[in-house]
Structure 1
Amino acid sequence: MVSKTEEEQVNRLESQVENGGGGAWEYLCLVRKLKLRRSDKVLKFGLSILNDPKKRSALGPEEWTLYEEVAVAAMDCQCLDVAKEFTKVLQKKFPGSKRVGRLEAMLLEAKGSWAEAEKAYMSLLEDNPLDQIVHKRRAAMAKAQGNIPLAIESLNKYLEIFMADQDAWRELAEIYVSLQMYKQAAFCYEELILSQPTIPLFHLSYADVLYTLGGLENLQTAKKYYASTIDLTGGKNTRALFGICLCTAAIGQLTKGRNKEDKENSQLQSLSAVALEKDYKQRNQSKHSLLTATLKSLKLS
């Protein structure tokens, strides 16, 4: 996950390059380090370096890494002529390279030559069954073709081998949510929280899924994870605050007459409602009256 500071650094450097202040290579290195997907900028800034013989030669061995990165960015941007040209450059430099072979398969995929791309990927897997990128490309290709069951199957098989891949768990969770398969999505978010317990987004997404599932136990657990999201973000997550309000209102309907739970819910409702009202007064005054009306409808204000 990229921190707010890192994102600001990337944006600042991007603006600097766009305005002629230099730093294109530094920008590309930072995007690579943070594993960001800013294909249009990688393509634009990468071409500015590779098309300048002096700048290109100054890169040393990194020149070939940049060719690869720009080729992939070109595929994302559907600039397939550029992708084809740079793939050929790499083929000539590294004949027989499996890494370049993977790039060739990705180019076939970008062209929509699904059967040829699948054949190329399977050939690569025969040589290296543990190639993570190829496994993920096959899942992505299935999704791109609208074959969601195959995408789910591919991701599940992949995660049986590479259980620590957070991106794959997130992708699988999002697919399940899109299909309203909330119990399966919850399992994915549980895995993510176990591997990275300090990332607020995982707690928030898990709470959202549990709230959607409903039922007293799920609502109580959702409330805890909304609370942990608030704790991890220093009390600044509006969505989690509102989530607590929704959960406590729903729990209140299910536990009427249970004094202990009524008291706990009442305290949490009040704290969350006050925090929300304060947040809206500071950042979104125009919608403050709407928030107040909503909280009143939940009997929270």
Structure 2
Amino acid sequence: MSSEDVEEARQLLLRYAGAERAMPTCDELRQFLKASREARIRNPEDIANYGSLALRHYKSQLAEEELWLLHEQVGIALMECGALQQALPLVKAVLLKFPGSIRARRLQGMYYQAAGKPAQAQQLYEELLSEQPHNDVIPKQLVVLHREAGALSEAISVLVTYLQHYSNDREAWEELADCYLEAGMYRQAAFALEEVLTMGVLAPLTLIKYGDTLASIGGAAQLRTARAYYAKALQVSGGRSVRALYGLIAVANQLPDKDAGAAGSAAQELPSAAAEALVAQYSRDAPDKLPLVKQALARYL
């Protein structure tokens, strides 16, 4: 399932908006909720709304496995919406049905987090990890807990240990990079982002983040590499990434390029070309901001 499948299923449900008596069918609700689960789309308001509807009106029509998947999915969505009173019966039902399950106890930990009981959540997660040291879900929940508390060193420690066993987890490397950046540990962040890039991820935001990180480290070699990644981000975005354009200009301002030959000439032309592209984009999309952009560019060029 993809985000397009989720949106298609959602549009079917929106036909019932404002209708006084009509209600989505069980299959229509199931399709939307299943697509959201499989595509891992975070849309807590819709999931809480439509999932609660499915559990309230079509519970008897749901297969056993799907019924408990919905309890978990809707419970998490309700917690994310701050509807703890509505989420609690679902959490209790899952715990009663699966009392020894790691997944059910993780749901309990998430409820503790949402209810403002981080110490209880942390104790529960650490107990679960002691039972299953190589569990691939609980560490991520523990990282969320530590980051919410501003405990970056603890979050980094959990991620580093986790990645020793799951080194191909791209999302974990990205989160580790974010933790390092938040802690001002730019060289470590660059290493984590390099791991992401070696997995073939060429999303413009990742390329720009790596360029930003190298630019923060500084030094001629790092700045030249940053320039290359900004240029790549610009290429991947079809020339429309404003952040990549600004990055090219900022790096050029820090790095008076003395390279000889055609490559050096092209590098020197990049800032001017980037500035022209920025002016063109703002002229088209936000003309009211164009004077401010030109004023900012004048300081660099």
Report the TM-score range of the alignment, normalised by the length of the smaller protein: 0.7 to 0.9
- Partner of 2:182 in structure 1? 178
Q: Please, which of 71, 77, 81 is the counterpart of residue 77 of structure 1?
A: 81
- Partner of 2:223 in structure 1? 219
CA contact (8 A) 1:74 1:80 kept: yes
Q: Look up the equivalent residue of 1:181 and give its one-letter code.
A: M
- Partner of 1:282 in structure 2? 284
Cα distance change of structure 1 residues 59 and 214 upon mapping to structure 2, 3 Å threshold: same
- Partner of 1:135 in structure 2? 139
Structure 1 residue 168 corresponds to structure 2 residue 172: yes
Alignment of 1:84-233 (within 5 A): 84-233=88-237
Larger deviation, residues 257-266 vs 172-181: 257-266
Q: Look up the equivalent residue of 2:294 and give its one-letter code.
A: T
Q: Please, which of 48, 51, 71 is the counterpart of residue 56 of structure 2?
A: 51
Stretches of structure 2 lacking an aligned partner (at least 5 in a row): none
CA contact (8 A) 2:113 2:121 kept: yes
Q: CA deviation at 1:42?
A: 1.6
Cα distance in 2 for residues equivalent to 1:297 and 1:7: 46
CA contact (8 A) 2:9 2:31 kept: no
Q: CA deviation at 1:14?
A: 7.3
Cα distance in 1 for residues equivalent to 2:295 and 2:13: 42
Cα distance in 1 for residues equivalent to 2:120 and 2:30: 34
CA contact (8 A) 2:170 2:196 kept: yes
Residues 148-202 of structure 1, C-alpha deviations (whole Å, 9 max, x = no match): 2211111111111111222222222222222222111111111111113332221
Q: CA deviation at 1:57?
A: 2.7
Cα distance change of structure 1 residues 262 and 298 upon mapping to structure 2, 3 Å threshold: farther
**What TM-score, normalized to structure 1?**
0.86
Cα distance change of structure 1 residues 49 and 240 upon mapping to structure 2, 3 Å threshold: same
Residues 2-55 of structure 1, C-alpha deviations (whole Å, 9 max, x = no match): 87x678658756755655584443332232222122222221221121111xx2
Cα distance in 1 for residues equivalent to 2:206 and 2:166: 19
Aligned length: 293
Q: Secondary structure at the match of 1:164?
A: coil
Q: Look up the equivalent residue of 2:47 and give its one-letter code.
A: V
Stretches of structure 1 lacking an aligned partner (at least 5 in a row): none
Q: Secondary structure at the match of 2:137?
A: helix
Q: Look up the equivalent residue of 2:227 and give its one-letter code.
A: K
Cα distance in 2 for residues equivalent to 1:171 and 1:10: 30
CA contact (8 A) 2:6 2:36 kept: no
Q: CA deviation at 1:89?
A: 1.8
